[in-house]
Amino acid sequence: MKLTLDNLRINNRFASLPEDYFSRVQPTPLPSPKLLHFNTDAAALIDLDPAQAQRSEFAEIFSGSRPLPGADPVAMLYAGHQFGSWVSQLGDGRAILLAQVRNAKGESWDMQLKGAGPTPYSRGSDGRAVLRSTVREYLCSEAMHGLGIPTTRALSIVTSPQLVRRETMETTAVVCRMAPSHVRFGSFEVFYYREQYEKLKPLADHVIAEHFPQHVGDYVGWLTEVIERTARLMAQWQCVGFCHGVMNTDNMSILGLTLDYGPFGFLDAFDAGHICNHTDEGGRYAYDKQPSIGHWNVSRLLQATLPLLNEDTEKAVPIAQGILDCFGPAYANAVTAGWRAKIGLREAQDKDPELINALLNLMHRGKSDFTRTFRNLSLLRTDTDEPAAGVRDEISDIAAFDAWVVDYRARLRSEQSNDADRAIRMNAVNPKYVLRNHLAQRAIEAAQTGNASEIETLMTLLRRPYDEHPQFEAYAAEPPPEARHIEVSCSS
């Protein structure tokens, strides 16, 4: 059954918690709101009839200019470690949890407006989002979903002629992002550091009841699953060349979702130490540091939840350490399986990590295009010793690569690999299309004129990034020279 804006199944479970965890706040109306783009796939998650996007009320509701019937808007409280330093007061400074909606399957979805005006946590800022960052988040959340990586989603972009100052004067926009929950590691940290330990249990019990019912009354089992989900997420990021850019603990989802798309990027030329956020001068969140930062972040969550594990800290610490010890194996298993799949190996053999690392080192030294190299590797054949067509064009040290191919072919032949079957399997895990920065920038520039055609094209590709889409071949190319140094920052 398709629903209208007037009869969505509103389910404000988070807003029913005590006001220790949020502040009630109304969105600030956005002048002259206009719908720029609507995501029918996301609408299906809440059983919303896509025709509702044509109503004038839609842009008003999802810009914060008109109430959603039954909604109880709140701004969520949290704190966190930002670039390794504790910041005691954060919270939703430009995001408002408009409502929670339950679909016919019983799934609950947060409807959160990002850019809907100031909240008690805005710290003097205007609470607005600019069109540039809104388009990037909208596209990337759907790109990650298309890649099969846990992520928030996005329903719509609403624009306005209103201007705000960032590096320059920019137009504002509001994205409606969706997730089963927007609770973060920092949602627990804030109460631990305030020594308000009694507030940890109601929040944990809410999260467990809503999202981990198998762990009701079992904080060890719950935290173990959170830590393992986070470890697997780090592995998935690494295997598609995704760089988050701001892996602060307040940007880490308690559900193991990719959360808060500010400065991010997919690797073009492979540099293991790539820093996608030019604000990150020390490279804390470089590509190759993401797994260790993920480990550090979950250790902060475990510290914040020590009172749930035992009232006696000395007894709680070894329990937390035992949970933390699960991260390493979960990450190692997931990332090794991911790399094996990317190079088409069905079986696990002891020397596989050496083979994988040798390829990555070759790519790093020659700054090979990350996405194209893995995609084109599926063209290599084992029924010949001829040079590897296609993928060879992505490599600078041909002699070293040809030597690696000898070992790779031998490894494939050891498991009687069939070239056609292997190509199908590899192309199912190595995307042809990712949201490269220059593609996002092209969509932003078009959107600034009110043209959503590039957003629509990218949504088509990013929903099915493993397909060929021959009419869009240019979108799989390396970025042109003039677009290889696009910089993004925390305002992106």
Tens-digit pLDDT profile for residues 401-416: 999 999 999 999 999 9
What percent of the chain shows pLDDT beyond 90? Answer: 94
Would you say 91 is a known binding-site residue?
yes
pLDDT band of 89, cuts 50, 70, 90: confident
Would you say 342 is a known binding-site residue?
no
Q: What is the mean pLDDT of residues 6-17?
A: 96
pLDDT band of 491, cuts 50, 70, 90: low
Specify the residue for token string 């880490």. 252
Specify the residue for token string 């220059």. 438
pLDDT reading at 177 higher than 60: yes
Q: What is the pLDDT of residue 302?
A: 98
Q: What is the pLDDT of residue 489?
A: 61
SS3 171: strand
Q: What distance lies between CA 301 and its chain's CA centroid?
A: 19
Q: What is the pLDDT of residue 387?
A: 86
Tens digits of residue pLDDT in 251-260:
999 999 999 9
Would you say 177 is a known binding-site residue?
yes
Active site members: 250
Would you say 260 is a known binding-site residue?
yes
Would you say 375 is a known binding-site residue?
no
pLDDT reading at 487 higher than 70: no
Q: What is the CA radius of gyration of the chain?
A: 23
- Residue 377 structure tokens: 């590797």
Q: What is the pLDDT of residue 1?
A: 83
Rounded alpha-carbon distances, angstroms, from residue 408 to 46, 249, 338, 344, 395: 47, 40, 17, 10, 15
> What residues pair up with 176 in beta bridges, in sequence order?
113, 156
Q: What is the mean pLDDT of residues 182-187?
A: 98
SS3 463: helix
Would you say 251 is a known binding-site residue?
yes
Residue length of the chain: 492
Tens digits of residue pLDDT in 276-298:
999 999 999 999 999 999 999 99
Q: Which amino acid is at 258?
A: T
Q: What is the pLDDT of residue 167?
A: 84
What is the CB neighbour count within 10 angstroms for residue 217? 8
Rounded alpha-carbon distances, angstroms, from residue 121 to 98, 192, 266: 16, 19, 31
